[in-house]
Amino acid sequence: MTKTLHRSASQGVGTALALSLGLMLAGCGGMPDNRSLESVHQPVVERVNYTLDVTTGPGGLTYPEQRRLAGWFEAMKLRYGDRIAIDDPLGSEATRQAVEAVAGRYGILVSDDAPVTGDQISAGTARVVITRAKATVPGCPDWSAKSDANLNNAISSNYGCASNSNLAAMVANPEHLIKGAEGQSDTVVMSSSKAIESYRKAAPSGNGGTTVKQQSSTGN
C-alpha cells in the first residue's frame, strides 16, 4: 500500500514563515535581559600583599636595614592608598618607630593590624607588609550581544563598561569603592568655611567695604 502526501501551496508558505520566525528567535537568544539602569559590570577591588623581611635588634633596625627598607619602598613606588603593617613576633616599639620614620617620608602611617602572609616569622626578624588595592571591571568591554534588536527592552551588554572602567582607573584609593572616606570633623569644616563667611559678611564695595588706594602719576 502506497501512501501519498499532498500539501497545498498555502501550507508551504506557512511552514516557511514558521521556520523564518524560529531562526529569528534563535538569533536573539543572546540578547541581554537586564531591564534596569544598573550595569552588571561593576568595579572589583583586589588586595595584594607584598612583604619584606628585615633583621631587627635591641635598638630596632640598623642603618643598613633602614636603607634597605627605604630602597624597597622606592622600588615599590609607595603611593597614596597603600597600607603598611609590621608583623613582629617581639612587638618591638623601636622597630615600629624605625619603620614609621621611613614610611613617613611618603606620608603613610603604619597600621596596627598586620595581614596573615603565610609562613611563620622567627625571632630577630620582622616582616614589613605593603597591602595594595587594585580596581578593575572584569568582562569589559562586553560585545557578546550581536543583535541590535532587543525585544526585552533591556540595556546593552556593554552598558556601564566605559564609565565604570574609567572610575576604577582614576580613583586614587580603590578601597574607597568599598567604603567611602570618613567625613571631615566639625573643626576642619569650620576652618575651611572662614573665607566664605568673611566674604558673605563683608560690606559691599560701594559702601566702603573695599578701600582702594589711589596714587597720581606725579607720586603725590
Name the phi and psi angles at 12, rounded to 5.
-65, -40
Q: How many CB atoms lie within 10 A of CB 160?
A: 21
Amino acid, single-letter form, for residue 118: G
Rg (CA), the chain: 34
For the beta sheet containing 125-136, the strands, ordered from the edge strand earlier in sequence to the opposite edge, are 44-55, 125-136, 83-87
Is the pTM higher than 0.75? no
**Per-residue model confidence (pLDDT) at position 27:** 45
Distance CA(204)–CA(68), nearest Å, equals 61
Report strand pairing: 44-55 vs 83-87. unpaired
The domains found in the chain, sorted by start residue, are: 48-132 (3.30.1330.60)
By the 8 A CB rule, do 21 and 151 touch?
Answer: no
Distance CA(94)–CA(68), nearest Å, equals 17
**Per-residue model confidence (pLDDT) at position 218:** 55
Residue pLDDT, tens place only, 53-66: 999 988 889 999 99
User: What 3-state class would DSSP assign to 148?
Assistant: coil
Q: Which residues contact 197 (CB under 8 A, 6 or more apart)?
A: none
Residues in the chain, pLDDT under 70:
1-31, 147-148, 183-192, 205-220
